[in-house]
Amino acid sequence: MRLESKVAIVTGAAHGIGAAIARELAREGAVVYGIDRDPHIDATCASIRQAQGQAFGCLLDITDRPKYAELVAGIAETQGRIDILVNNAAVVYYEDLLNSTLEHWREIQAVNLEAQYVACKLVAPYMIKGGWGRILNIASTQAIATEPTVGAYAASKGAIVSFTKSLAVELAPHGINANAIAPGCIHTRMSFVNGVDETTTEYFRTWYVEKRKIPLGRAGQPEEIARAAVFLVSDDASYITGHTLVADGGLTITF
């Protein structure tokens, strides 16, 4: 119960990595508020409660800044504190530069990056008041080594890595640590491109598994990222800040 009595906010918590992080935080004793624009967030949090965890679903589009501010203020009023923020929500469009649109570029930056800034600005005062806080931003290995058709997504994730470093320096005097995780190929709904699960394709099996482009020879699971997240938001990582933990099965260390 490393997080007993802590109050946590997790965005993009209806499915995938966000849902797994919400479950792990609750299992470690945190009171979790899961935020998502997908109505499934209620079912996710209900399943956490059935497992004896404390979790509340919040249906919200995090690009709606006034409603986001209202929600955060309500959580702080109800719980008397906010200790942990996990900025996980993200969107992606797979399109090459010449066929991409400015509208998609702006949407990706609004969800993946701007909403993280807004959330940090909203929760930081409560963490400062409490003299303790953990901010965890979910980046991506696309911030380190990218590929075609994800330019806007890669740009947002690279910015998250830099933003996290700035947060760490600025908030350290207040007892707040800020870190990031850069997941590699994790089997979530984002693994599906044009209706096809990339991890089941012949290309994936040949290049990433058989030829060991991923040295561990498989895609990761959301729970594996969640366990790293618990470490970074707990006192076990008390002397770690400004760091981006790469969790990619070795993907970015190979040629």
Structure tokens given for 165: 């470093």
Note the CATH architecture for domain 7-253: 3-Layer(aba) Sandwich (3.40)
Is the Cβ–Cβ distance between 87 and 115 less than 8 Å? yes
- Rounded Cα distance, 152 and 178, in Å: 24
For the chain, residues with pLDDT lower than 50 are none
Write the DSSP assignment of 210-252 as a string of letters: IS-SSTT-S-B-HHHHHHHHHHHHSGGGTT--S-EEEESTTGG
Return the domain boundaries, the chain. 7-253
Global pTM? 0.97
Structure tokens given for 95: 């399109």
- Rounded Cα distance, 192 and 36, in Å: 19
**HEC-encoded secondary structure of 154-217:** HHHHHHHHHHHHHHHHHHHHHCEEEEEEEECCECCHHHEECCEEHHHCHHHHHHHHHCCCCCCC
Please, what is the angle between helix 222-233 and helix 16-27, to 10°? 50
Active site residues: 153
Q: Tell me, what DSSP letter sits at residue 235? A: G
Is the Cβ–Cβ distance between 241 and 172 less than 8 Å? yes
* Count of alpha carbons within 13 angstroms of residue 28, beta-carbon side: 24
For residue 193, what pLDDT is reported? 82
- Rounded Cα distance, 176 and 180, in Å: 14
The strand pairing partners of 84, in sequence order, are 8, 134
